[in-house]
Each structure stands twice: as structure tokens, then as C-alpha cells.
Amino acid sequence: MKEGEHISPYVVDLLVKHGVRPESVLLSACCDRSLEDTFEDTFVFLCIDKVHFLTVDYVRKTNKVFNGYISKRDKMTDARENVPCTTKKYVSYKISEIKELKLVNLVASGIAYISFEDDRETQVISAYTNACVGDISKIGRAIEKIKKDGVLNIAEFKDKEDETHCPKCGRPYVDKVRKVCSKCADRKSTFKRLLKMMPKYWKYVAIALVMTIVTSGFNLLIPYMSGTILFDRALKTGNWWSGKVVLIVVLMFLASIASRFISAYSSINMCKMSENVMYDIKSDIFKSFNKMSMGFFTKNNVGSLMTRVNNDTGSVAHFFVNGLPWIIKWIVEFTGGTVLLLSLNPKIVWLGVFPIFTTLVVLKATTKYLRRMYIKSWRASSKMSSAVSDSLRGVKVVKAFGKEQDEIDRFSKLNERAFKISLNTSTTVTLYSPIFSLVMSLVTYGIWIISGREVIMGAGAAVMTYGIMQSSLSYFSMMLAPFTGLSGFMEWWQNCMTAAQRMFDLIDIDPDVKESKTPVVIDKVKGDIEIKNMTFGYEPNQPILKDINVDIKSGEMIGIVGHSGAGKSTLINLVTRMYDANEGEIKIDGYNIKDIAQRTLRDNIALVTQDTYIFQGTVLDNIAYANPEASREDVIAAAKIAKCHDFIEAMPEGYDTMVGAGYRAMSGGERQRVSIARAILINPRILILDEATAALDTETEMSIQNALDSLTKGRTTLAIAHRLSTLRNADRLIVIEDGRITEMGTHGELVKNKGVYYRLMMKQAEALKTKGV
Amino acid sequence: MSEAIIESIDIEYIDPKEAKFNITTNHILTLDLNGVHYPCVQLHRSFPFTNPDKYIAVRDDDDSDKDQVREIGNDKKKEIGIIKDLAEFDSVSRQILEKYLELRYFAPTITKLISVREEFGYRYWVVNTDKGDCKFTTTLNRNSIVNLSSSDRLMIYDVDGNRFQIVGFSKFDSKARKQIEMFM
């Protein structure tokens, strides 16, 4: 037995006390709930001949730690695996006497029962939460296997370590789909990761850096000239500057112009960088969207994903464009201002403490609040865009039920909320300015009093001159400039970090369906499909397909029949590798589908579904979508086979007609035919038809059926259809019921069996009769 | 309009006087109704958030005939009827039903939020609940916290789909409430 996360050494000790050798344990699981509705651990150990159930009592108060919880500070001494325990109840059964380990699903939990081969009454074992359901259901299936085969191939039941655990620290992933290790990801702070993106734009950064330093240099020079040099030198005698007021003014004017020019150039440079950064980040995010498997898109709202691409990239680009030069400018001006101030008028430097202190106090008081407000504000605007996308997508329903006003109200509510949050945030941020200005005015008066007194008292002694006082006033405000802008800085910093975190979150997602490290490229796919002991569920404990076994020969046409929700489309999702099977395997031409190059799969499997999608572009683009290199002849030929050539020709712009959202509308039948032509054009070896004609009227369906008949010839075809008549050409039919294959055979065989297929066929015939068809 | 709908379909309500519910030692809910014994039934709340004690469907969960081929389109868990309101039952039956509902709709009620922190795509919670102290993890997705506007109950779903609830959210500790509101 390999110690899992839930099996502590204390539990292993107890197991040994009950005479079980740990090495004889094949699989283990933990039911974490008692039937009295408290948390209680009952461990389940499966050996080849027996199952052991051990309920424990912990010697001190424990914390129930659910999957995924990680803490670096908290040593979790109160977590159950770290607390000694004693046996509360122990029971074991021989596999031979057990009929099955039955799991009754409750809401986000379940109860495990053991039923017996003899007439003993079913025994309740324990309850469990969703945290344990994966392991416990594995034990149930393993018992089934042992009873059937007498042996157990343990590898089939163990998760592959690299898919479930972080390769760096070995901890299990919180989310097996996302594969982001919180512990390891944490080490790289968002800010550091952002900085790491900088080298790519080093040219822009270098220019920005030099320009900012030069501009800051000028900014430091001008007060010195307008103060010390103008008043203390030019207006006095006995030095080189004496009387050269015009020269000084000209020099100041030139410095000012140079500074403006450099600033303008710097802005252009920044704009270029900004566009580049935005372009790259958007591409990165869009790329990461495209590598996601279907599961990601079913779990995430499209509107909120769009907000991420549009708004978040803007906020992150803002970091590069405004944030960084700002920081450099502050550093240069703060250091330069302070140094010059110390050398010119050190007595007033300490006055800076007041505004700095005030700013820090105000910031400290409001940072948490602001952070909360920024997050709230982001969530509010995200909800708003979700509502807009929701409403626009469902515009037909909105109009059909006359619910325009309700939609406006729904949007207004969200808009109002976003407005209020935004207003509150801005008001708080704006408060900084008057507070800071007030303190600054007071401090300036202080400088006037201290320095002015010295200028008057020390006149002639050159301790403090009017020029020095003027310059030091400018340097004083320069020294405090970073603090004046701190509130604004905080705003973009918070915005940028929140956006960057979300962005990295997306980029970090490791897709659950990914290319093998050594992908097999098959030149000519034959089209044999073998599905072996396959089990799959979208949720870990709810298998949609159970123990599917089927052999399909190249060129065979298989019809898949079953009621809605039986798992037909799921089977197709797995054959096309939109998802990967949880257990068992799918082989194409003898190779596991997980090892075959994605390119090979996409080039050889074509899918025609009920929901056809027409992209924005010409009809030609749409047909040649999967094979853009196809010749015009091929496109026309494919369109002719798919029976769409005639209607395309009837359009004034023919194949060059723009279609898709905002352009020429296409009827359901037209779209379906274009999507069939799209499939024909890649000349697939395996063709999958998922209710391809279900949305069409009988006449259109018949004409498309003819198109499909010519398409399926010589290709391995899997076709799902509710209307059984459309499967009349199938070589074999598979009936899927509740995730299992219950019948398989030719039409004749299944009719003879008088099973589900037969009954379904009779019912459809009856329905047609009633309708008078 | 709504009367027309109600008239067009026959909703089978369970008569509290005719129905006798029982929980076996194996924690299986049984029902005796109009002379028929159902050895295993399940309760499904139709409106678990907004009306948890009303419109509870009673479904036959007996799978002793699972080897027989079912007809396509027929749901395995056939509905026996709907309990219109738990309050219509006598206290003994109501206690049985409530106990079973509690078992089925397992969701520890959070009594105190000790801490919650966000780190790289996850939110880590430390809470006290009526079932014991817990630490759990949720994603940052908006749907990990559900608050129906018409109910004062908050449902929090962890990465495995385990459910934790806050009943009476508007009266929950104000500091914790502000913190949680930020995630919604």
C-alpha cells in the first residue's frame, strides 16, 4: 500500500493491529461522513480476497480538511492525518461473499452499502462527501473486476502521478483539470512574472528609461537655473553669470523645449510599446483559450472570458506603459530632489515628514477598502458584460416573449451597481488630493517662514539666499511628488495586479486533453476503432459511460441509438478526443487515441453536428475551413456532394458571398449542407454524424440524407439519430442505455431480439401513423 | 392562465393521511402509500433554496429490477408524488422526512468564518460549521458562491462540489459578510 493523503501512519498501525498486512492492500479510500451527520472517518481497504472497513475515533479535536487546502504557515497539526486515533469499529468481508459495494448518490455526498451473495440483509457502511467519492467508487469497480476476472490490474485504477500531482513539489493538484500548484505558483509573484515579460520589449524599455532619466535631469536643472542661478548669480555682481539674465532665460527656454520634445518622443515610444504588449498578451490569452478542451468552455461564461481578453489586457499593458516609467521618474526625481535639497537647504528636509506621514496614514487606512472596491468594481462590470452577452445571445427569446423592458431593467440594476461602486472608489481616491494639498500648503508656509527668516536675517552672509529658497521649494515638491501620485499609483497597481493574476491564471491552465510527448503520426488512417473497458464522466463520481466495449472495422457504418442523456454524444466526444476517458482506452488503427498526434486526428475525423456554426467570412472560407489549401474544384465538388452548390450559385456573389454574423443569413438547411461540405473536403477516414439532420424538415432531410449516404461510403461512420429511419444503411446498431451498451447487432438481429430497439422502432412507426404521416 | 396549466396536467400530491414514511436501520427511506409498499424512495426538493420545505418530490429508487431493460425515455427514478408542504404531516412523519432531507442535502452550515485568503486562483477557507471545523478550497469562479436574490442563504461550492451554506447571510457577522460579498 502506498500511503495516500488520507492514510496516516496511525491508521496503518491500527490496520496492522487488526491483522492486515499493509502491503496486501491494493486500493484504499476513506468515507468521511457518519450517518449521524457529523464528520467521521471510515477507511476502506481492498485486498485481493477481502475488504476491510475501519472506523476511527481521533484522540483530540480535529479539523476536517477538504481536498486542495494548502497552507504554508499553518502546520495543520489539527488535521486528521496528523492526529492519533483508535478503532471505533472494524469489520471485514470476503470478496466471495460480497455481491457489490453499492453507492447511493445523495446531493454532493453519498452512502456506501455492501450487499451479499447470500440472503443476508444489505449493510450500510458509511456516508461520504464528494471529496472521497472518486476513491470509493474505484473500490466499487475494483470489487466488480475481482469478482469477474479473479485478478485486478491495479494500474487501471491508479491515477497517473504526473497528471494529478505537481511535478515540482509532489502535492496533489487542487483541480485536476487546471493543474496549477498553488504552492509552487505562489513562489513566482505576479509582479515578478510581469517583470519577466519585459526583456521581450527591451528596446522600448531602454528608450523609455533613457528618455525618462533625461527628462528628469532637465526637470532638476530648470529650478536650479530659475532659482539659484537667476537670483543669486545673475542679479549679483562678481561672478560669471552676472547680468546674463537673457542667456539664462534662453537656456531655461531651450531646456524646457528639449524636455517637452523628449517627453513627446517618449510618449510615442510608449504608445508603440503599449500596442505591442497588448497584441502579445491578447495573442497569448487567445492561444490559451484555443488549447483548452471542451470542458473549460462549458464551465466558463463566454462574456466573462471576453472581458478578460479585452479589459484585463488593457490593465496589464497599462503597467508596462504608465507604471514603469512613472516608477523610474519618481526614483530619479526623488533621489535628485532630496540630494539637491540636502546640499542647498538641509534644514527644511525634515518638513517633508509631515506630508509623507499623512499620505502613508491615509493610504494605510484606505488600502484594504480600496482593494475590496476594485475587486467589487471588476466583478460588477464583469457581471454587466455577462448580462449584455446573455441578453444579446438570447435576443430572439427576449423579443418573442416581449421581455425587452425586463432586460433593460436587469441591465440597469447591474449598471447602477457598477456605477455606485465605481463612484465610491473614485470619491475615496479623490479625497487624497485635497488632504495632501492642505498638508503641502501648510508645509510650504513652514518653508517660507524658516527659509524666509534666514534670507532676511542672513542677508549678505550668504547663509540662505532668495535663489536657494526658490530652488529648494521646487526640489521639495519634487521630493514629495511620488507621494502626491501615490493614490493614483495604488489605483493602477491594484487594477493591474488583479488583471495580471487573472491573466496568468488563464495562461497557466494546463489543458486536460493534450498532445502526447511522442505523438504518433499516421500517414494513412484505415479507420479501425476499438473501445475497450471505457468509463467516462464529466464529474468524477458520475459516470456517463460505463465499461464500453466495441470493435468497429474500417469502413463500417455504426448507428448509435438511445434516449436523450444516455451518453451517445459523450461517446462521440471521446472518439473525437474532445475529452479523455477516465478509464479504459480508445484505439484508432491499434494506437491509443491519447498517443496519436492531434493533427492526425483532426485531419482524419470529421464531425457534423446538429448545431452548425458558420464563421464570419465567405462561403468559400467556410467550406474550406478545415482544409484552406483545397482547390476551387475540390470546393465545388464537395459542395455538389453536400447538395449546397445550387443555392450557393443562386446567390449573386456565389462562393464569395459573405456569411456569418452580420452578413447574409442562411437557413438551417443551408448551414447544415455547408457544414457537410466542410466535412467532405477534408476527406476524413472517420465520419461522425451527431443528429446531423435532426433540425431539418423531411424534404431537406431527405436531400441531405442522400448527400450523407454518398459521404459515408467507404468511411468508418458513427451516426447518432433519433429518427431510426436515417440509420437504415447502418451495418450495425448500438443501443446505449444509462451509459451502457445494452444491445448491438444489425437491424434484423435487433428486431428479432424484440428488445429496446424493436420497441423504439414500433413506437416511432405508431407515432407516424397517429400523425398521419 | 396558470389555472389552465394546472388543469392540463395532473400533479400527484401525496396525501399526508395516506402516506407512511419510515427510515430503516440502513438509513433507507421507505414509503407505504395506498396499500403499496415502496422499499426505497428518495426525496428531491424542487426549490431547495427558495422553498426547501415545500414541493418535495418522492421518487421510487428501487433498482431491484435494474436488469430488466427499460424503455427508452423512461426515467429510472419514477416519481410517486409530490409532498406539497412538510407542515401538513404529523410531527413523527415530519421528523423522519426532515432527518432524511438533512442526510440527503448534506451542507455544513458555516457558523463562523475564521479566515479566507486568495492565492493564485484559489480561495482557502477556514470555518466553523455545525458539523465541525473545516478547511476547504474553492476556485475564484463566480459560480463557487451562489446567492439567489430571493433567498437569504448563501451556498459555497468547493473544488469537489462539496456544499457549505450560510443561512441568514444578511445577519452574518458584518466583517465576514463584507469579505464574502467581495467575492460575489
CB proximity B141 to A under 8 Å:
yes
Restricting to A residues 21-80, those with a Cβ less than 8 Å away from any Cβ of B are 33, 35, 37-39, 61-71, 76, 78-79
Q: Which residues of B touch A131 (CB under 8 A)?
A: 158, 160, 162
Mean of pLDDT values over A640-655: 85
Are B158 and A67 a contacting pair at CB < 8 A?
yes
Q: Under an 8 A CB cutoff, do B141 and A300 touch?
A: yes
User: Could you say which of B27, B132, B182 has the minimum Cβ distance to residue A375?
Assistant: B182
Can you give the three-state secondary structure of A719-770, one letter per residue? EECCCHHHHCCCCEEEEEECCEEEEEECHHHHHHHCCHHHHHHHHHHHHHHH
Give contacts of B26 with chain A, Cβ < 8 Å. Answer: 113, 121-124
The total number of residues written for chain B in this structure: 184
Of A106, A108, A127, the CB nearest to B161: A108
Q: Are A175 and A505 in contact (CB under 8 A)?
A: no
Residue type for position B98? E
Q: Is B158 on the interface with A (CB under 8 A)?
A: yes
Q: Which residue of A lies nearest to B182 if distances are taken between CA atoms?
A: A376
pLDDT of residue B2: 53
A214-224 pLDDT tens trace: 888 888 888 88
Cβ contact (<8 Å) for B121 and A178? yes
Beta bridge partners, B115, equal B126
Q: Give chain A positions within 8 Å (CB) of B105.
A: 106-107
For A185, the closest of B61, B120, B139 (CB atoms) is: B120
Q: What is the pLDDT of residues A100-135, one digit of tens each?
A: 888 888 888 889 999 999 888 888 899 999 888 888
Rg (CA), chain B: 20
Q: Is the pLDDT of residue A524 over 50?
A: yes
Partner B contacted by A501 (CB < 8 A): yes
Q: Which pLDDT belongs to residue B71? A: 37
Contact list in B for residue A504 (CB cut-off 8 A) is 120
Residues of B in contact with A127 (CB under 8 A): 103, 106
Q: Do B162 and A129 touch (CB under 8 A)?
A: yes
Q: What is the separation of C-alpha A297 from the centre of its chain, rounded to a whole number of angstroms? A: 9
Per residue in A144-202, pLDDT (tens digit) is: 888 888 888 777 776 655 566 666 666 666 666 556 666 665 545 677 777 777 788 88
- A-chain CB neighbours of B102 within 8 Å are 37
What pLDDT score does B67 carry?
37
Q: Mean of the per-residue pLDDT values for chain A?
A: 82
A108's torsion region: left (phi>0), alpha (psi -120 to 50) or beta? left
Higher-confidence residue of A297 and A101: namely: A101
Q: Which residues contact A275 (CB under 8 A, 6 or more apart)?
A: none
Residue of A nearest to B135 (CA): A65
pLDDT at residue A558 in the model: 92
Q: Is B70 on the interface with A (CB under 8 A)?
A: yes
Looking at beta carbons, which residues of chain B come within 8 Å of A722?
none
**Are residues A66 and B136, on separate chains, in Cβ contact within 8 Å?**
yes
Cβ contacts from A onto B, under 8 A: 157
Please give the grid coordinates belonging to residue A324.
514603469
pLDDT of res. B10: 72
Enter the pTM of the model: 0.67
Determine which of A32-46, A474-488, B78-92, B102-116 has the lowest per-residue pLDDT on average.
A474-488
Amino acid at site A307: T
What gap in Å lies between CA A665 and CA A668, rounded to an integer? Answer: 10
Taking the C-alpha atoms of B49, B51, B54 and B57 in order, what is their torsion angle to the nearest 10 degrees?
Answer: -30
Chain Cα centroid distance, residue A72:
25
Contact A372 B121 (CB under 8 A): no
Interface of A with B in 386-425 (CB under 8 A): none
Measured distance CA(A271)–CA(A208) in Å, rounded? 11
Out of A64, A174, A564, whose CB is closest to B132? Answer: A64
How do residues A593-620 score in pLDDT, each as one tens digit? 989 998 888 888 888 887 788 888 889 9
- All residues of chain A having their beta carbon less than 8 Å from the beta carbon of residue B124 are 69-71
Please report the beta strands in chain B, taking only residues with DSSP state E, as ranges in sequence order: 19-23, 29-33, 36-38, 41-45, 54-60, 78-85, 110-119, 122-129, 132-139, 145-146, 153-157, 163-167
- Nearest Cα residue to A720 out of A600, A638, A587, A607: A607
Q: Flag the least confident range among A48-62, A286-300, A680-694.
A: A286-300
Q: Which of residues 514-553 of A touch B (CB under 8 A)?
A: 539-540
Q: Do B120 and A180 touch (CB under 8 A)?
A: yes
Is residue A644 scored above 70 in pLDDT? yes
Residue A494 contacts B, CB cutoff 8 Å: no
Over range A569-573, report the average pLDDT: 89
3-state DSSP call for residue A175? coil
Which pLDDT value is given to residue A222? 86
- Average pLDDT estimate for A458-484: 76
* Predicted local distance difference test score (pLDDT) of residue B64: 46
CA distance B85 to chain A (A): 21
Q: Which of A723, A720, A729, A692 is nearest to A568 (CA)?
A: A720
Q: Is the pLDDT of residue A767 over 60?
A: yes
Q: Is residue B68 pLDDT above 50, yes or no?
A: no
Q: How far apart are CA B128 and CA B110, in angstroms?
A: 6
Burial class (CB in 10 A: 0-12, 13-18, 19+), A237: exposed
pLDDT attached to residue A646: 86
Question: pLDDT at position B69, please?
Answer: 35
For B108-125, what is the mean pLDDT? 86
Beta bridge partners of A736: A741
- Report the chain A residue with the minimal C-alpha distance to residue B181: A376
CB contact under 8 A, A65 and B135: yes
Of A241-255, B53-67, B157-171, the least confident? B53-67
Phi/psi of residue A107, each to 5°?
-85, 120
pLDDT, position B129: 93
Closest alpha carbon within chain B to A565:
B73
Chain A residues in contact with B182 (beta carbon < 8 A): 372, 375-376, 379
Which of A54-58, A122-126, A356-360, A635-639 is the least confident region?
A356-360
CB contact under 8 A, B158 and A111: no
| DSSP code string of A394-447 | THHHHHHTT-HHHHHHHHHHHHHHHHHHHHHHHHHHHHHHHHHHHHHHHHHHHH
B-chain residues near A759 (CB < 8 A): 71-72
Could you give the percent of chain A with pLDDT greater than 70? 91
Residue A297 has pLDDT above 80, yes or no: no
For residues A687 and A728, is the Cβ–Cβ distance under 8 A?
no
pLDDT band at A2 (very low <50, low <70, confident <90, very high): very low
Residue A487 has φ and ψ, to the nearest 5°, of: -70, -40
Contact yes or no for A95/A51 (Cβ under 8 A): yes
